[in-house]
Amino acid sequence: MTDVSGRGGVRISELGDVRAARPEAIAEAAAARGRRTGPPGASGRLMIIAADQPARGALGVGGDLTAAADRRELLDRLCAALDRPGVDGVVGTPDVLEDLLLLGALDGRLAIGSMNRGGLAGTAFEIDDRFTAYDAEAIAASRLDGGKLRFRIDDSDPATVRTLEACAGAVSALARRGLMALVEPLVAHRVEGRVRDLVTPEAMIRAVSVAAGLGVTSAYTWLKAPVVPEMERVVAATTLPVLALGADAGGDPREALDGWRRALRIPGVRGLVAGRSLLYPPDGDVKAAVDAAAALL
């Protein structure tokens, strides 16, 4: 791991000291960050790095359940990814984005705040994905470019409707501020007590159709969807811009690239969102993994 120093002058090893002695430095870095002009899709297809999984307790990569637990290593990998050509920005919770702000790694990049992280992975309340991170007001105050939210439709879990209601409110609140709402919809059920996503074309068509109707307007809504068989049918269910979701971390990177390549041929797919599959590739080469994905765009 290298001790990255971004344009902000702070090194990864110094983040703890800055946070303890100068907490106001975070707001100062947010105010000084150079932002892109125009709507997120104005520059063409997008490639977004996802770094909001730790806040759900999802730290595993392949068979290693704590692979992403070392925060300094994660930040090092994020800085390496964000520095590559073709990478447009990152999705993260306040702790991650604020570290990146202090490092100066978000200048000229899209910064999307992750909002509902309360549905912790593997818990009995996973479907009840409450808003425990950013809200629209904080996203606007921090000069971020949008908010990311997600829901899972579980027909047997009443918490589904509470999460849907909260997501609809967040879409509306972001839209009132002219900010992007990146919505990740899924259909899920429990198998032996654990939540499992249904990644069939029919399930994703249903999820996308529900997501597109959330909030008082869909003008600023983008959708984030996993690559599934017959992806053309899923994308045809909406006119909203769609970002293809990366494959599970620890899988065969060639399969992920093939899936993304097929998805990007579909009109309406406007780019990619990928997290641990690029940040923790099997061979450890973050730059090569990111470059291979970016080349598809």
pLDDT at 152: 97
Q: Which CATH architecture has domain 42-295?
A: Alpha-Beta Barrel (3.20)
Distance (Å) of CA 211 to CA 112, 128, 214, 267: 18, 16, 6, 19
DSSP states of 196-218 as a string? EE--SHHHHHHHHHHHHT-SS--
In which region does residue 75 sit, left (phi positive, over 0), alpha (psi from -120 to 50) or beta (all else)?
A: alpha
Whether residue 295 has pLDDT greater than 80: yes
- pLDDT-based confidence at 12, cuts 50/70/90? very high
Of the candidates 62, 93, 82, 36, the residue with the CA atom closest to the CA atom of residue 277: 62
pLDDT at 4: 60
CA distance 39 to 267: 19
pLDDT at 29: 97
Higher-scoring residue by pLDDT: 254, 197: 197
pLDDT at 64: 87
Using DSSP, state whether 170 is helix, strand or coil.
helix
CA distance 159 to 232: 30
Tell me the average pLDDT across 51-71: 92
Tell me the average pLDDT across 181-189: 97
pLDDT digits (tens, 9 = 90+) for 203-249: 999 999 999 999 999 999 999 999 999 999 999 999 999 999 976 66
pTM: 0.94
pLDDT at 246: 78
- pLDDT-based confidence at 35, cuts 50/70/90? very high
CA distance 126 to 118: 8
pLDDT digits (tens, 9 = 90+) for 78-122: 999 999 999 999 999 999 999 999 999 999 999 999 999 999 999
CA distance 36 to 235: 27
Whether residue 250 has pLDDT greater than 70: no
pLDDT at 263: 96
Tokens coding 222: 């983008």
Tokens coding 32: 């000084």
pLDDT at 248: 65
pLDDT at 155: 96
pLDDT at 249: 60
pLDDT at 8: 59
Tokens coding 161: 């409707």
Q: Angle at the Cα of 162 (from 164 to 268), degrees rounded to 5?
A: 10
pLDDT at 42: 87
* Cα dihedral across residues 131, 132, 136, 137: positive or negative: positive
Q: Is 66 exposed, middle or buried (0-12, 13-18, 19+ CB in 10 A)?
A: exposed
What percent of the chain shows pLDDT beyond 70?
96
pLDDT digits (tens, 9 = 90+) for 159-177: 999 999 999 999 999 999 9
pLDDT at 126: 96
Tokens coding 266: 């579909």
What percent of the chain shows pLDDT beyond 90?
88
pLDDT digits (tens, 9 = 90+) for 129-160: 999 999 999 999 999 999 999 999 999 999 99
Tell me the average pLDDT across 15-33: 97
Whether residue 2 has pLDDT greater than 70: no
Distance (Å) of CA 33 to CA 177, 185, 216, 283: 19, 30, 30, 33
